[in-house]
C-alpha cells in the first residue's frame, strides 16, 4: 500500500509565529491523517489497493461514483505537498526558477501580488498553486479538494486555503496568511527541485526552450 501520511519534514513548532505548533499539529495529525486513512480503507480489497496516490487520483477524477475516494486521495496528496511547500524561515526562488518568475511575472513582487490576488479571490475552500502548465509558469487555484495533478499540471508550490489552515493564527484573515507564507514560509528549494524533476522527465527540448525563454 503506497498511501502513507507524510511525516512532517520539520518540528510542528518550527513555523511559529506564522503558523503555531497547535495549528500545525491539529492540521497534520487530525485533518491530514483522516484523509489518508479514508483512502486506505476505501481501496483495501479493490483493484486500486496497490496503486500509488497519484494513480488513484487520475483513475477516480471526474467519476461521480468515486467522488469520495477522489476527494480523500486528492486531499492526502495536496496536504503531503503543502507541508513540504513550507520550511522554517522561508527563502527566495533561485536559479532557473527565479529567472522564469522574473520573465513571467516581472519579478518576485509581481508574482507575490498575483499569488495573493488569486488566493484571496477564491470563494470558499480550496488551494493556491504555482504550477507548470504546457511549458509555462502559472498561478492556479483549485476549489475544495481538487488538485492540479488531476488536470495534467505540475505543481511547484502549494498552499492550503481551507479556513482550518489559518483560522487559529490569522483569525481567518486569508490575505495575512498568504503574505506570511510568501514572506516567511515558502520552500523555494522544494519548488526548484520540483521544476528540475519535471525538466529531467520531460523531453530535452523543454529545458532548452526554458533556457531560451529566460535568456531573451
Residues engaged in binding Mn ion (CB under 5 A): 31, 160, 162
CB of 114 to Mn ion, least distance (A): 23
Residue sitting closest to Mn ion (CB): 160
CB of 179 to Mn ion, least distance (A): 19
CB of 22 to Mn ion, least distance (A): 15
Distance CA 111, CA 129 (A): 12
Note whether 170 and 176 are within 8 A (CB): yes
Strand, coil or helix: what is 202? coil
Nearer to Mn ion, 175 or 211 (CB): 175
Matching residue, cell 477524477: 61
Nearer to Mn ion, 115 or 162 (CB): 162
Nearer to Mn ion, 100 or 165 (CB): 165
Please, what is the Cα angle at 76 between 70 and 78, to 5 degrees? 95
Nearer to Mn ion, 38 or 48 (CB): 38
CB of 54 to Mn ion, least distance (A): 19
Amino acid at each position: 500500500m503506497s498511501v502513507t501520511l507524510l511525516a512532517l519534514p520539520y518540528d510542528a513548532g518550527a513555523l511559529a509565529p506564522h503558523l503555531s505548533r497547535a495549528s500545525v499539529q491539529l492540521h497534520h495529525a487530525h485533518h491530514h491523517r483522516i484523509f489518508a486513512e479514508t483512502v486506505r480503507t476505501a481501496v483495501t480489497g479493490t483493484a486500486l489497493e496497490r496503486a500509488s496516490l497519484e494513480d488513484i487520483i487520475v483513475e477516480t477524477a471526474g467519476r461521480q461514483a468515486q467522488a469520495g475516494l477522489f476527494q480523500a486521495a486528492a486531499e492526502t496528496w495536496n496536504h503531503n505537498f503543502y507541508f513540504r511547500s513550507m520550511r522554517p524561515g522561508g527563502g527566495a526562488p533561485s536559479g532557473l526558477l527565479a529567472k522564469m518568475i522574473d520573465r513571467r511575472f516581472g519579478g518576485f513582487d509581481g508574482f507575490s501580488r498575483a499569488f495573493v490576488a488569486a488566493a484571496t479571490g477564491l470563494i470558499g475552500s480550496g488551494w493556491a498553486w504555482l504550477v507548470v502548465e504546457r511549458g509555462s509558469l502559472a498561478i492556479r487555484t483549485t476549489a475544495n479538494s481538487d488538485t492540479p495533478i488531476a488536470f495534467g499540471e505540475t505543481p511547484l508550490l502549494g498552499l492550503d486555503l481551507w479556513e482550518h489552515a489559518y483560522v487559529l493564527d490569522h483569525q481567518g484573515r486569508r490575505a495575512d496568511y498568504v503574505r506570511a507564507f510568501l514572506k516567511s514560509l515558502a520552500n523555494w528549494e522544494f519548488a526548484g527541485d520540483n521544476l528540475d524533476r519535471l525538466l529531467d522527465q520531460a523531453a530535452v527540448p523543454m529545458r532548452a526552450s526554458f533556457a531560451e525563454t529566460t535568456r531573451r
